[in-house]
């Protein structure tokens, strides 16, 4: 899953460089970075991205996340685009929650500003 996770991390960094999520509550950053736009558009691109790893592992990761967090599984696993975008959502959540800088900012419960953006970008690049 590391190849896919690295792709998502690179996407998060790009979103941050584009100032996505600025001036919003830090605890909503995951939503702004990954849930306001599609990570992947197109069935072919989604299939190729998922095939970098085991598609079955991708399905299981999304299934487990949805069951644990939402109490039910709602992603249509027969739709590569929906699966890829939900997997990106799950991996982004993991990346941010494993990042010490993001965790520190989350505990502060403040708005996400330019200074925090630069620190988080550096932290993600070095993790």
Segment 74-95 mean pLDDT = 96
Task: Give, in order, the Cα–Cα distances in Å from 34 to each of 54, 56, 79, 91.
Answer: 22, 22, 19, 10
Verdict on whether the full-model pTM lies above 0.85: yes
The three-class DSSP label of residue 77 is: coil
**Which H, E and C letters describe 2-65, residue by residue?**
HHHHHHHHHHHHHHHHCCCCCCCEHHHHHHHHHCCCCCCCCHHHHHHHHCCCCHHHHHHHHHHH
pLDDT confidence bin for 41, thresholds 50/70/90: very high
Strand partners for 111: 25
Summarize pLDDT for 50-82 with one digit per residue, the tens: 999 999 999 999 999 999 999 999 999 999 999
Which residue would you say has higher pLDDT here, 127 or 47?
Answer: 47
**The dihedral of CA 35, 39, 42, 45: what is its sign?**
negative
Q: How high is the pLDDT of residue 127?
A: 87
Q: How high is the pLDDT of residue 120?
A: 96
Task: Give, in order, the Cα–Cα distances in Å from 112 to each of 22, 27, 50, 84, 117.
Answer: 5, 9, 31, 27, 7
Mean pLDDT of the chain: 95
Q: How high is the pLDDT of residue 43?
A: 94
pLDDT confidence bin for 108, thresholds 50/70/90: confident
pLDDT confidence bin for 98, thresholds 50/70/90: very high
């Amino acid at each position: 899953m590391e190849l896919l996770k690295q792709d998502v991390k690179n996407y998060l960094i790009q979103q941050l460089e584009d100032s996505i999520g600025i001036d919003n509550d830090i605890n909503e950053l995951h939503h702004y970075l990954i849930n306001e736009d599609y990570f992947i558009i197109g069935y072919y691109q989604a299939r190729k991205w998922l095939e970098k790893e085991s598609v079955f592992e991708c399905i299981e990761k999304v299934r487990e996340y949805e069951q644990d967090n939402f109490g039910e599984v709602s992603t249509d696993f027969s739709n590569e685009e929906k699966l890829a975008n939900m997997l990106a959502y799950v991996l982004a959540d993991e990346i941010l929650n494993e990042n010490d800088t993001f965790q520190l900012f989350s505990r502060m419960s403040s708005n996400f500003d330019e200074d925090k953006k630069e620190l988080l970008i550096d932290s993600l690049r070095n993790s």
